[in-house]
Amino acid sequence: MTRDDWQRTSPPSEQLGWDTLWADERHGGWQVEAATRETDGWTRTNLRLQLGDEDRRLTGAACVCVRRDGDAPRVLLVDQQRPAPGVRLWEIPRGMVDPDDATPAQAALRELGEETGLVAELEAELGEIYPDTGVFAGSVAVVLAGFVREGGGSDDAEPEVEATRWFTRAQVRELIATGRLRDGISLGALALADVWREAAAVSAAPSA
């Protein structure tokens, strides 16, 4: 199954008529929209947050960056303070897709450089995930990249995050088990990268 095949496997649900309750044109456009849905005799109002312009380009991009110059592959995580839930978490580098980004992959690699000051090379575009299917209409593109070198930011720019660290797969599982990595985008992106890695290994194995 290709990435595009995987994207098309989710059948469309009932399409609602959405009315805009609030709009802000900054950062490519933010809208809070409402729609009424009737199911089995009851009526419910649904709300959604819509980001981006009318052509519904991707809202965000996330980069699973892997380093393979040691005994075992390691993935890069950044230490982030998130005001909304009031927690500090290890996360994968990610950010918004800007209008100037030619592709979601370019956005993901740009965010990696801005947040960490590292340069990586694109290895695969893994697909899109929905971080919140309840109220958030946007999706996040996930890419896999291989570490190249340090020095990904501009000459006068400091990395945006305070701390970065390379973790083995076992260490990532320990972070998840202890609650230090638990945001939906990172969990979804890492799971998608694991599935892609396993599928690639099967494809590369010699046939019997």
Block mean pLDDT (10 aa), the chain, length 208: 62 79 75 83 82 63 92 92 88 88 91 92 92 84 91 59 89 95 95 86 64
Q: What is the pLDDT of residue 179?
A: 93
pLDDT computed for residue 205 by the predictor: 63
Residue spans per domain, the chain: 56-204
Per-residue pLDDT, 204: 66
pLDDT value for 133: 83
- Would the pTM of this model clear 0.85, i.e. be above it? no
d(CA 193, CA 126): 7
Question: What pLDDT shows up at residue 166?
Answer: 95
Give the pLDDT confidence score for residue 116 in this predicted structure: 92
Closest CA relative to residue 167, chosen from 141, 142, 143, 193? 193
What's the pLDDT at 132?
85
The fold of the 56-204 domain, in CATH, is Nucleoside Triphosphate Pyrophosphohydrolase (3.90.79)
